[in-house]
A and B are shown apart, each in its own frame.
Chain A
Amino acid sequence: MFNKVFVEKSQINNPYTQNILQKIKYEKKVEIDNIEDIWGKVKKPYLQKRTNLNLFIGRKKGTLLKEAPPAYGHGNEKHFYFIHAYNCIYECQYCYLQGYFNTPDLVLFVNHDEIIAEMEKIVQDNPDTWFHAGEFSDSLALSHLTDEYSAYYEFFKKYPEAKLELRTKSVNIKKVLGLAPLPNIYTSFTLSSEQSGKVFDVRCPSVSSRLKAIEQLVTNGHRIGIHFDPIIYEENFKENYKQIIAKLSDILPNNQMGYISIGVVRFTKDVYKEVERNYPDSLITKFDYSKSFDGKIRYNRPMRRWIMNHIKELLIQREYNPEKIYFCMEED
């Protein structure tokens, strides 16, 4: 699976490190002082992840929790995301990670105890804070290797007002299913039309597999979040999304739906250049975009608002509570 595994010397005996090393296949293990000394020091083309992927295991230094920007999550509570990993095994054509780091090599941080200690500090003053996992990596795709879920689970069991969101496109839900559902833990899935998923979500589980995973979690009493984000306009857009929302509403009842976010595809200038370089034939680069309110490249305002309103309308038609539906990263 991995070419080389670089492990920080200080984390060799960390049980999470040992667990990962036991479970993965790799050609060579290298002990290093600091991830930052090597990882991303030399530019490595994004698509080399297909043939030459290295893994770094170490301690996350500096900021462990970052406050999320406005309109990142649902509700008026504080939102933080925590960084448990960098980079992803999937290859979504629109993913901002292709322009964010200098390398696609994976980093898994193993100092979960420190991250949890930081969370504990935050909930003292703001007990109803949201914590999101999956900003720089899929939160569940490698959870069978990293095995940190139970530690976070215990924290959220102790602090029932705080909320955890596990953002994912994976169907690797075994760890979540292994523990009794908590009302403050939401597994949130990114969904799109099946057509869009097939075309743009390269090396990801299909949209129908994701729906099956949602169904399994719902059946077992877990709470679910949904992100229709990023939506990419396509031929038969209305019909395709009508179908997927119908399928979703057949398996996800309102009382287990935590929230649904809606957003359209968007890029920073640098990410857009990377997308053009990595996927020159992709339909994603064939649309007209323009620079929008925050400098990011998006569909123009009437078009993106029409798309988002339309999806919201379809969800409301399926009797999802409009108060739980929000537009992500969109100005008023």
Chain B
Amino acid sequence: MQTPDLVKILTESNVEQLKLTDKEKAAYLIQYLEDTINPLQGHLKKELNKKVAPLIESGAQVYFDPKLEKKSFALKMEINSQANIENLKQALTNISFSDIEAHFDGVNNVQ
């Protein structure tokens, strides 16, 4: 699909129903174009996000090396209650660092 076609879809009524902001539309467009250029990259990114999903759900922000060279990530989270701490603790027990490492070593089931 050519970029102008996609822009047209993003401005059509069915997309309007999604109540996307212009910024979100732009983000979708960028994501779409990135996936078009490199679909494998998109799949790998989704897989990586799945592996840290419990952390994101607990309210933490997860930062990977932007070049994805280092097998590490940083966490940022605002803690303003004991519940936040409990959620984070729970989330941390639900993720496996060796799974994340394996992902960086190319071991995953991306189709």
Which residues of chain A have a CB within 8 Å of any CB of chain B? Answer: 233, 237, 286-288, 290-293, 299-310
A210 to B4, CA, bound (A): 42
* B106 with A302: CB separation less than 8 A: yes
Q: How far is the CB of A327 from chain B (nearest CB, A)?
A: 10
* A305 with B104: CB separation less than 8 A: yes
Q: Which residue of B lies closest to A300 (CB)?
A: B68
* B106 with A308: CB separation less than 8 A: yes
List A contacts of B34 (CB < 8 A): 288
Name the interface size band of chain B: 10 to 19
- Given known pairs A287-B38, A303-B40, the reply for A292 and B67 (CB within 8 Å) is yes
Majority secondary structure of chain A interface residues (helix, strand, loop or mixed): helix
* A288 with B106: CB separation less than 8 A: no
B107 located at the interface, meaning its Cβ lies under 8 Å from any Cβ of chain A in the complex: yes
Q: How far is the CB of A204 from chain B (nearest CB, A)?
A: 25
A–B pairs, 9, beta carbons within 8 Å: A233-B38, A303-B106, A305-B105, A305-B107, A306-B40, A306-B106, A307-B40, A309-B105, A309-B106
Which residues of chain B have a CB within 8 Å of any CB of chain A? Answer: 34, 37-38, 40-41, 44, 48, 66-69, 71, 103-108, 110
Q: Which residue of B lies closest to A234 (CB)?
A: B40
List B contacts of A305 (CB < 8 A): 104-107
* B68 with A301: CB separation less than 8 A: yes
* A303 with B37: CB separation less than 8 A: no
6 extra A-B contacts, CB within 8 A, seeds A287-B38, A299-B41: A233-B40, A301-B68, A302-B103, A303-B38, A303-B106, A309-B106
Q: How far is the CB of B29 from chain A (nearest CB, A)?
A: 16
- Given known pairs A302-B104, A308-B106, the reply for A292 and B69 (CB within 8 Å) is yes
Q: How far is the CB of B88 from chain A (nearest CB, A)?
A: 25
Q: How far is the CB of B66 from chain A (nearest CB, A)?
A: 8
* A293 with B69: CB separation less than 8 A: yes
